[in-house]
Copies of this chain bind each other. A is one copy, B any other.
Amino acid sequence: MRARFHAELEGVTATLVGMADGVTTAMQRASDALLSADAALAAEVRGDDARIDELYQRVDEQVSELMARQAPVACDLRLTITALNAATDLERMGDLAVHVAKIAERRAPESAVVPEIRDIVGGMADLTTRIGAKVSTVLRTADADTAAELATDDDAVDTLEQELFTVLLDPSWPHGVGPAIDAAQLGRWYERYADHAVNAGRRVIYVVTGESSPRG
C-alpha cells in the first residue's frame, strides 16, 4: 500500500514539474515581452496560461484519485495536501506572469519600462527566471541547498522592489502617475511570484523528502 501510495505521489510530482517548467517559461517570456514591448509575445504568454491551468486541474484529479484509492492518513495525508498546496502556488505564479504580460501588451508599442527603472525591472526579471528554474530543480532533485537558495533570491527581489519604489517616489521622477502605477504593480507581481516560489519550494522539499526545509 505504501509503495503504491508513493508511486501515485510521484505521478503528482511529475505534473508539478510540468507546472514549474511552464510558469518559469511564462515569466521569462512575459519579461522578454515587457522589456522589448512585444505585444505579440505578450499575447502568447496570456494564451499559454490555459496549459498551466490544465496541469493544475490534472494535479487536482490525480490527488483526488490518489485519496480515493489509497485513503492516506497521518503523514501520507499531509504529504498529499502539501502537494496540492504547491500546485496552488505554481498556478498563482502562472497568473502573475500573465499580469506582467498584460501590462506589456497594454502599453505596446511603447514600453511600460521607462529607462529610469530598466535595470531594476531587468534584475527582477532575471531573478524570477532563476527562481522558477530552481523550483523545477528542487522538484527533480529534492536538493535542500537549492531550496534554501530560494529564500536568498526572494530577499534580493524584495530589495529590488524597495529600490524601485525609491525611484518612483523621487521628486525627480519625470513620467507622472500612469507609468509609476504600472511600475509599482510590476514590482509587486515579481515580488509575489518570488514569494510563491519560496512557498512552493518548501512544500516540494517536504513532499519529496518528507522533511520540512529550513525556514531560513
Tell me the A residues contacting B by CB distance below 8 Å. Answer: 64, 67-68, 71, 73-74, 77-78, 81, 84, 88, 165, 168-169, 173, 176-178, 180-181, 184-185, 188
Contacts and interface: CB of A to CB of B under 8 A. Distances in A.
A172 to B, nearest CB: 11
A184 B73 CA distance: 45
B178 A169 contact: yes
Indicate how many identical chains form the complex: 2
Given A165-B181, A184-B185, 5 more contacts: A67-B73, A168-B181, A177-B180, A180-B180, A185-B188
A110 to B, nearest CB: 15
A214 B182 CA distance: 34
Tell me what chain A mostly uses at the interface: helix, strand, loop, or mixed.
Answer: helix
Contacts of A180: 177, 180-181
14 contacts: A64-B78, A64-B81, A67-B77, A68-B73, A71-B71, A71-B73, A168-B177, A169-B177, A169-B181, A173-B177, A180-B180, A181-B181, A184-B184, A185-B188
Contacts of A169: 177-178, 181
Contacts of A176: 177
